[in-house]
């Protein structure tokens, strides 16, 4: 069963420059919530940003990883207000 | 790559996406969602008073399989408007909160 650290490491290794914060949403090891910040997201729609992250896990989404809830952002969009 | 293989389930899904302005593929029904993510997506649509068609993917695993093949999106729910994938629960919720969802469904 993947841990939040596994998920974080795999996202950061697969998407150049990505920073991920991952939590185990239910404590059960199969529902995760991730906030991913990456310059690779720039110029891409939300759908494309989420697809990039989902692609890291392929068929595991819906399988071993029942749910991966995502919030994606580009470094420039980190709120400064 | 042309394919002559008939795939009635895939054809039926594509047709449903084309024919309904707003269509939600979900687990369970709007009245009885079978998953928290589907429930949250239905709630956003209902909060906007948007009429939508709903398809329960649970009765046949092939629905989900073919839907994901069409949309290139791995999870359920999936919301489509005017033939385009809007997103899953996270995106729909984010867009609802920012007011973008109402725009996208116009």
Q: Which one of B27, B91, B92 would you mutate to disrupt binding with A, by most A Cβ within 10 Å of its Cβ?
A: B91
Question: Residue range A1-16: average pLDDT?
Answer: 94
Q: Which residues contact B54 (CB under 8 A, 6 or more apart)?
A: B23, B24, B25, B26, B29, B30, B42
Break chain A into its structural domains and give their ranges. Answer: 4-74
Instruction: List CB contacts (< 8 A) between A31 and chain B.
Output: none
Residue B37 and residue A67: Cβ atoms within 8 Å? yes
What's the confidence (pLDDT) of residue A46? 95
What's the confidence (pLDDT) of residue B65? 95
Question: Residue range A38-58: average pLDDT?
Answer: 96
Q: Which one of B68, B73, B90, B103 would you mutate to disrupt binding with A, by most A Cβ within 10 Å of its Cβ?
A: B90
Residue A47 and residue B91: Cβ atoms within 8 Å? yes
Instruction: List CB contacts (< 8 A) between B85 and chain A.
Output: 47
Q: The domain A4-74: what is its CATH number?
A: 3.30.300.90
pTM value? 0.90
pLDDT mean for each 10 residues of chain B (106 residues): 77 97 98 97 97 97 96 96 97 97 94
B91 vs A33, B44, B96, CA distance in Å? 13, 11, 8
The whole-chain average pLDDT of chain A stands at 91
Of the options 2.60.40.10, 3.40.50.300, 1.10.760.10, 3.40.30.10, the CATH number for the domain spanning B8-105? 3.40.30.10
């Amino acid at each position: 069963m993947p841990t939040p650290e596994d998920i974080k490491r795999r996202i950061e290794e697969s998407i150049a420059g990505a920073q991920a914060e991952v939590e185990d949403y239910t404590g059960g090891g199969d529902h995760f919530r991730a906030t991913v910040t990456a310059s690779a997201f720039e110029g891409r729609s939300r759908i494309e940003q989420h697809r990039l992250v989902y692609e890291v896990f392929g068929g595991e989404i819906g399988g071993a990883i029942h749910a991966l809830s995502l919030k994606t952002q580009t470094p420039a969009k980190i709120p400064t207000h | 790559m042309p394919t002559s293989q008939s795939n009635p389930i895939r054809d039926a899904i594509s047709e449903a996406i084309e024919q309904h302005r707003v269509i939600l593929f979900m687990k369970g029904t709007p009245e009885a969602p079978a998953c928290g993510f589907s429930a949250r997506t239905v709630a956003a649509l209902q909060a906007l008073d948007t009429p939508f068609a709903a398809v329960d993917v649970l009765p046949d695993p092939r629905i989900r399989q073919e839907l994901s093949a069409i949309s290139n999106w791995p999870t359920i729910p999936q919301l489509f408007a005017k033939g385009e994938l809007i997103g899953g629960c996270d995106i729909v919720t984010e867009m609802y909160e920012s007011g973008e969802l109402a725009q996208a469904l116009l």
